Amino acid sequence: MQQRTKIAPSILSADFAQLGAEVAAIAAAGADYVHVDVMDGHFVPNITIGPMVLKALKPHAGIPFDVHLMIAPVDPYVVEFARAGADIITFHPEAGPHPHRTVQLIKAEGKKAGLSLNPATPLSVLDHLLPELDLVLVMSVNPGFGGQAFIPSALEKIAEIRRRIDAVSASQNGRPIDLEVDGGINLETAQAAVRAGADVLVAGTATFKGGPSSYAGNIAGLRA
């Protein structure tokens, strides 16, 4: 069953010189999650922020921090990100040999666990893991940078994952599992992604364009 659409601004498009004020501003503007893109220059070709910055940002926004780890290996860093303030920790199945163990590590810290699928990652990675997950993140761009164009084949993937999530959720007394889409989200692609079954939209460029006075309108526009 699809929930109300949630908006998770990616702070990759925020003003990095004002990050505390930026996360406070998006929370005040109606964002549901703060989406933190963690990149290591190895798993993806870009380097962003680590647990120290997450810890510094945490007190600035009273909404869940949705942390997307684009790092390999991922297991050695799960506990540090959890204790730095992540509420949801999402990782890639390619980032470690044992994705099920990574989920166990996340859950042992009392956090929600997400699995992210790159554009070329097959849906079979979900076969034995979906019942354990709280979130599935469909990448609609190749991870590494903001401002890329939405890859249309993500829509087919979202629709199939929607079916699988609904089946698992129904067998677990309606336990919610978020279906999040990330990359190239604008007013047009947001509508297509939600129609296909997404219920969380990650949006960097589309949230932060125009500066703080535009955030509430940008978020409301995406949600509508």
Ligand X SMILES: O=C(CO)[C@@H](O)[C@H](O)COP(=O)(O)O
Interacting span for ligand X (CB under 6 A) from 72-80, 87-95, 153-161, 204-212: 204-212
The binder of ligand X chosen from 51, 182, 189, 215 (CB under 6 A): 182
The C-alpha atoms of residue 106 and residue 114 are separated, in whole angstroms, by 9
Residue 75: active-site member: no
Interacting span for ligand X (CB under 6 A) from 52-60, 99-107, 178-186, 190-198: 178-186
Residue 134: active-site member: no
Among 56, 39, 58, smallest CA distance to 48 is for 39
Per-residue interface string for the shown chain with ligand X, residues 95-134, x marking contact by CB under 6 A = ----------------------------------------
The C-alpha atoms of residue 107 and residue 88 are separated, in whole angstroms, by 10
Do the annotations mark residue 110 as ligand-binding? Answer: no
Closer Cβ to ligand X, 153 or 172, answer by number: 153
Among 87, 101, 112, smallest CA distance to 36 is for 87
* 64 near ligand X, judged by CB under 6 A: no
Three-class HEC string of the chain: CCCCCEEEEEHHHCCHHHHHHHHHHHHHCCCCCEEEEEEECCCCCCECCCHHHHHHHHHHCCCCEEEEEECCCCHHHHHHHHHHCCCEEEECHHHCCCHHHHHHHHHHCCCEEEEEECCCCCHHHHCCCHHHCCEEEEECCCCCCCCCCCCCCHHHHHHHHHHHHHHHHHHCCCCCCEEEEECCCCHHHHHHHHHHCCCEEEECHHHHCCCHHHHHHHHHHHHC
Do the annotations mark residue 92 as ligand-binding? Answer: no
Closer Cβ to ligand X, 64 or 146, answer by number: 146
Per-residue interface string for the shown chain with ligand X, residues 136-165, x marking contact by CB under 6 A = -----x-xxxxxx-----------------
Do the annotations mark residue 204 as ligand-binding? Answer: yes
Interacting span for ligand X (CB under 6 A) from 104-112, 121-129, 156-164, 183-191: 183-191
Q: Which of 32, 37, 178, 199 is catalytic?
A: 37
Q: Which of 32, 66, 178, 182 is catalytic?
A: 182
What are the residue numbers of the active site? 37, 182
Residues flagged as binding site for substrate: 10, 68, 144-147, 182-184, 204-205
Residues flagged as binding site: 10, 35, 37, 68, 144-147, 182-184, 204-205
Site of interaction with ligand X (CB under 6 A): 10, 12-13, 37, 68, 141, 143-148, 182-185, 202-206
